[in-house]
Amino acid sequence: MTRWNRKRLVAAGAAGAVLAGGVALQSPVLAEPGDSADVQVTVDIEEITEPGVLAMSVAGDSVALAEDGSTLLVRQFVGELPTVTVTDTRTPEEVPDNAAWAVLGSATDFVGGAGQAPISAGHLGWKPRLIDGGDTGLVTEGEEVVTVLDEPTQPGNNVGLVDQELLVSTFDSGAVAGDAYSVDADLFLRTPADVAAGSYTSTLTLSLFE
């Protein structure tokens, strides 16, 4: 008998001894050659919790101003800023201490499409209007900004949208977290009566800061 066969007989005898001596115990799952045995595999997967975010969206990417309200001295062109929505999906615990957010806007000069002299951004003004400020009363629209051709309606506000002007803001981000807020604005371009005819284009940039 070969050494390999002797090992098989010894192993078989040992297995028989185990089976004979273990009759009173719970038997493990056994499978004969050609049979199969199943093992159930389970896992618990926790839902991923994404941190909240503060974000801004704008309902459109263009607005066409139309002439309305002109006088013998000043031509006026008006339109409406597409609705701007600030959404904060954060919990109050995710907001940094003493944080505040604001949307600011500034415009470039109006450039003529046929080589006309540009119209400075100081001739473009706006009057923000809060559409939905939530229930806290802590989200407010910015003040009106009039043009360089106007008398100020608030101290020093006859500058146009040359610099970053306030559209909407809150002074307490944590208190207004978990909600969405929307605002638009009346836009008005006021030029001298002798402004050159033609198409003009300006870019109004809106930025969200915290």
pTM: 0.78
Interval 22-28 mean pLDDT: 51
Helix (H) or strand (E) holding 21, with range, is helix 3-21
The residue that leads in pLDDT, 25 or 87, is: 87
Residue 150 predicted with pLDDT over 80: yes
**pLDDT of 21 over the 90 cut:** no
Q: What is the pLDDT of residue 127?
A: 98
- Residue 179: Cβ within 10 Å count: 15
139: Cβ contacts below 8 Å, ≥ 6 apart: 130, 133, 168, 169, 170, 176, 181
Contacts 24+ apart (CB under 8 A), 5-10: none
What amino acid is encoded at 194 in this protein? D
Confidence label for 36 from pLDDT (cuts 50, 70 and 90)? confident
What is the pLDDT confidence band of residue 37, given thresholds at 50, 70 and 90?
confident
Residue 48 is predicted with a pLDDT of 80
User: Tokens 């078989």 identify what position?
Assistant: 12
How much of the chain, in percent, has pLDDT values that exceed 70?
85
Query: E strands of 133-178, at which residues?
Result: 139-141, 165-170
Query: What is the per-residue pLDDT across 152-178, written as a single tens digit (0 to 9) for each?
Result: 999 999 999 999 999 999 999 999 999
With contact defined as beta carbons under 8 Å apart, do 52 and 88 qualify? yes
Per DSSP bridges, beta strands 204-209 and 124-132 are unpaired
| The predicted structure's pLDDT at residue 81 | 98
Per the structure block, which two tokens stand in for 147? 């043009």
Cα-based distances in Å from 45 to 39, 40, 41, 48, 199: 19, 16, 13, 9, 59
What confidence tier does 31 reach under pLDDT thresholds 50, 70, 90? low
